[in-house]
Each structure stands twice: as structure tokens, then as C-alpha cells.
Amino acid sequence: MKTLFKDVKIGQTFESNGIVAVKQSSRTAKLVGNGRTFYWGQKESVAIQQSKAV
């Protein structure tokens, strides 16, 4: 589901340009692959990752 970074909840996983990350604060997210933290623009378009049913 496409949305803006500012609308993603803290702790929620999202994808942006092929990068999967977890939102850490209102401005930062931690990459899933290597754990590095980066800033995201509030109006950047991201796709929220859907949890998979087991």
C-alpha cells in the first residue's frame, strides 16, 4: 500500500526504492539488511509491507 513516510507508524516496516526499512522516529528509519539508520523526507512515497499470514 503506497503512502507518505510521515503516515507510517513507528515500528512499521516499509519499502522505498527497493530498500526495506523499519521506521524508528518521525524522521529516521533503520535498514533491515544492515541496521544502518537514515533520514527520510516526510513527503517521500513509501510502500507499507503487509504481514504475511502463516
- Classify residue 54: in a domain, yes or no: no
DSSP reduced 3-state for 6 = helix
Measured between alpha carbons, how far is 28 from 32 in angstroms, rounded to an integer? 13
> By the 8 A CB rule, do 45 and 52 touch?
no
> By the 8 A CB rule, do 15 and 23 touch?
no
- Classify residue 21: in a domain, yes or no: yes
- Classify residue 34: in a domain, yes or no: yes
Domain that holds residue 30: 2-48
pLDDT, greater one: 7 or 51: 7
- Classify residue 18: in a domain, yes or no: yes
- Classify residue 53: in a domain, yes or no: no
- Classify residue 27: in a domain, yes or no: yes
Asked whether the whole model's pTM tops 0.75, one would answer yes
- Classify residue 40: in a domain, yes or no: yes
Summarised one tens digit per residue, pLDDT across range 4-48 is 999 999 999 999 999 999 999 999 999 999 999 999 999 999 999
Total of domains in the chain: 1
Strand partners, 31: 21
- What do you get for the CA distance between the two ends of the chain, in Å? 20
